[in-house]
């Protein structure tokens, strides 16, 4: 059965899972809890799915029927999230492509696999049915001028858990668990899948014979995988093995690695350090363990992995480069330590020093500097929003008195509320929320729970519920 037909035939099962009980048949929940569920349902898909999972795990909802309902609903809602899967962005923390792809686990793949994991201890058979509805992550052929390479590890990690807990003893006797893994390996299409699938095979509990057979199937798939240098670079983190893999697999893996390393590379490539790239050295080590005399498996040489050309890189959009942003950053640094040349932590202002009139004057000047910051001063409205929200949150953390703290936090919260609809990326907006909604500081959570933005308010109330 093909992957597409397998997923298509599974769809009605999830629908039946959600609607097997009508709302009237479910037990009544306290009105405040029901209000949170309804509030979560009214949000954008990624926030709705995430909050429904958090509610399913809440001690206040102890009825299994409600937990099943919320998990099922989260699973279907998650499919409509803005981001399809986690992505590798810029490794520099303060940059557009770092904050856009920040790991908030709000991607469709992250949320759906979390729902499957939540279902496993409650109904392992249904969890397997849910997983079968998740197609292998579809990977675009990204050029070196693009970033955002997929990270599909959650798919294969959850497949490993389904293999271990989603089959009855009778099903295992009929090798249904092995049959479950086989199409997952066969459906690999990109370098993004290769190392993640290998991690899955390394971790599943199978006999040496079964592992050998699975790796031979893996080798057959590997022979047909070609990807862009951007995809290969992001996914070539090395390979580990529980049992020595068969020669056929190591031979295919060697060919696969050489094929990609000898082609074009991105100029930001971080896997080509030294004469022999790390991944090639790792493969050589594996082959040496399997064939110490190199009679069957020849080591990869430097000449084989010389790149054919440099295909360039993407525009990085590092923050804090404009005139205004540098002024704000310098002002924030002064509030932190006054640019004093003192050893170690002695250079940082103490609480008493931050209560001085001079420090307060700098604080007010910094507020004015941020307030006058226009979106047109930055490369994009998203960059402006990210840096302004960062500046206000840092200012709040440094404020020593309630008056200054209230002023900075009010501006920060107003920015998050009024620009929610303007920020195209929900993940970027949520990244800049800074996790304040789960703060242990009641001064913050009291304000967030009353926010005019429903996402902020519901997240804060659900976090309180789960404490």
pLDDT tens string 424-464 = 999 999 999 999 999 999 999 999 999 999 999 999 999 99
Nearest CA to 330 out of 63, 322, 265 is that of: 322
320: left (phi over 0), alpha (psi -120 to 50) or beta: left
Task: State the pLDDT at residue 5.
Answer: 37
Q: Is the distance from CB of 123 to CB of 68 less than 8 angstroms?
A: yes
Domain match, 103 and 219 both: no
The two three-digit tokens of residue 153, written as one number: 């590890």
Chain centre to alpha carbon of residue 372: 34
Cα–Cα distance, 198 to 218 (Å, whole number): 9
Q: Say whether both 236 and 367 belong to one domain.
A: no
Q: DSSP label at 155?
A: H
Give whole-number Cα distances, 30 to 33, 54, 55, in Å. 5, 17, 13
pLDDT attached to residue 217: 94
**Would residue 385 count as lying in a domain?**
yes
Residues 314 and 331 in one domain: no
Asked whether residue 193 is assigned to any structural domain, the reply reads yes
Structural domain boundaries, residue 382: 323-434
Q: What's the pLDDT band for 273 if we cut at 50, 70, 90? A: low
Let me know whether 413 and 264 are in one domain: no
Question: Do residues 370 and 299 both lie within one domain?
Answer: no
* 314 shares a domain with 167: yes
* pLDDT tens per residue across span 163-213: 999 999 999 999 999 999 999 999 999 999 999 999 999 899 999 899 999
pTM assigned to the model? 0.92
Please list, in sequence order, all residues whose beta carbon lies within 8 angstroms of the beta carbon of residue 312, skipping any fewer than 6 positions away.
144, 145, 266, 267
Q: What is the mean pLDDT of residues 355-381?
A: 96
Would residue 447 count as lying in a domain? no
Pair 183, 314 in one domain: yes
> What pLDDT was estimated at residue 225?
95
Residues 129 and 247 in one domain: no
Which of 256, 157, 225 minimizes the C-alpha distance to 197?
157
How sure is the predictor about 1, in pLDDT bands with cuts at 50, 70 and 90? very low
Given the structure tokens 């991690």, which residue do they identify? 199
**Range from 243-252, 287-296, 384-393, 394-403 carrying the lowest mean pLDDT:** 243-252
Q: Which two tokens stand for residue 319?
A: 């923050």
Number of domains in the chain: 3
pLDDT band at 278 (very low <50, low <70, confident <90, very high): confident
> Of the candidates 250, 284, 318, which is a domain's last residue?
318
Query: Which residues, 6+ apart, have CB-to-CB distance to 396 below 8 Å?
Result: 405, 408, 409, 412
The answer on 12 and 125 residing in a single domain is: yes
Task: Let me know if residue 465 belongs to a domain.
Answer: no
Q: Final residue of a domain: which of 281, 303, 318? A: 318
């Amino acid at each position: 059965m093909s992957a597409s037909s397998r997923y298509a035939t599974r769809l009605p099962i999830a629908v039946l899972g959600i609607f097997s009980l009508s709302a009237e048949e479910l037990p009544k929940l306290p009105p405040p809890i029901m209000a949170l569920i309804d509030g979560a349902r009214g949000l954008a898909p990624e926030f709705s799915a995430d909050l429904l999972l958090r509610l399913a795990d809440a001690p206040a909802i102890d009825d299994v029927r409600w937990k099943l309902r919320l998990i099922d609903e989260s699973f279907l809602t998650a499919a409509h999230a803005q981001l399809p899967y986690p992505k590798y962005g810029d490794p520099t923390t303060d940059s557009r492509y770092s904050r856009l792809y920040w790991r908030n686990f709000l991607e469709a793949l992250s949320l759906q696999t979390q729902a499957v994991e939540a279902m496993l201890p409650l109904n392992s058979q249904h969890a397997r049915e849910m997983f079968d509805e998740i197609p292998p992550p579809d990977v675009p052929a990204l050029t070196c001028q693009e970033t955002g390479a997929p990270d599909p590890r959650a798919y294969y990690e959850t497949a490993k858990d389904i293999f271990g807990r989603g089959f009855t003893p009778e099903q295992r006797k009929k090798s249904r668990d092995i049959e479950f893994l086989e199409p997952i390996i066969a459906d690999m299409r990109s370098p993004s899948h290769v190392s993640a699938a290998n991690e899955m095979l390394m971790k599943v509990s199978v006999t040496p014979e079964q592992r050998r057979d699975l790796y031979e199937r893996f080798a057959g798939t590997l022979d047909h995988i070609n990807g862009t240098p951007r995809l290969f670079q992001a996914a070539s983190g090395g390979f580990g093995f529980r049992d020595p893999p068969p020669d056929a697999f190591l031979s295919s893996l060697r060919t696969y690695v050489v094929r990609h390393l000898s082609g074009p590379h991105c100029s930001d490539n971080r896997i080509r350090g030294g004469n022999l790239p790390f991944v090639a050295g790792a493969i050589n080590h594996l082959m040496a363990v399997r064939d110490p005399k190199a009679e069957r498996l020849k080591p990869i040489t430097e000449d084989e992995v010389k790149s054919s050309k440099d295909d360039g890189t993407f525009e990085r959009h590092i923050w804090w480069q404009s005139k205004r942003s540098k002024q704000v950053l310098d002002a924030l640094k002064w509030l932190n330590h006054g640019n004093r040349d003192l050893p170690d932590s002695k250079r940082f202002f103490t609480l008493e020093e931050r209560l001085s009139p001079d420090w307060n004057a700098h604080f007010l000047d910094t507020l004015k500097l941020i307030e006058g910051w226009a979106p047109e001063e930055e490369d994009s409205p998203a960059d402006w929003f990210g840096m302004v929200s960062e500046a206000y949150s840092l200012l709040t953390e440094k404020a020593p008195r309630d008056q200054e703290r209230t002023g900075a936090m009010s501006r920060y919260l107003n920015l998050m509320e009024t620009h929610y609809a303007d920020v195209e990326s929900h993940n970027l907006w949520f990244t800049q929320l800074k996790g304040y909604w789960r703060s242990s500081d009641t001064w913050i959570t009291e304000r967030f729970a009353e926010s005019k933005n429903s996402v902020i308010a519901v997240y804060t109330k659900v976090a309180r519920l789960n404490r």
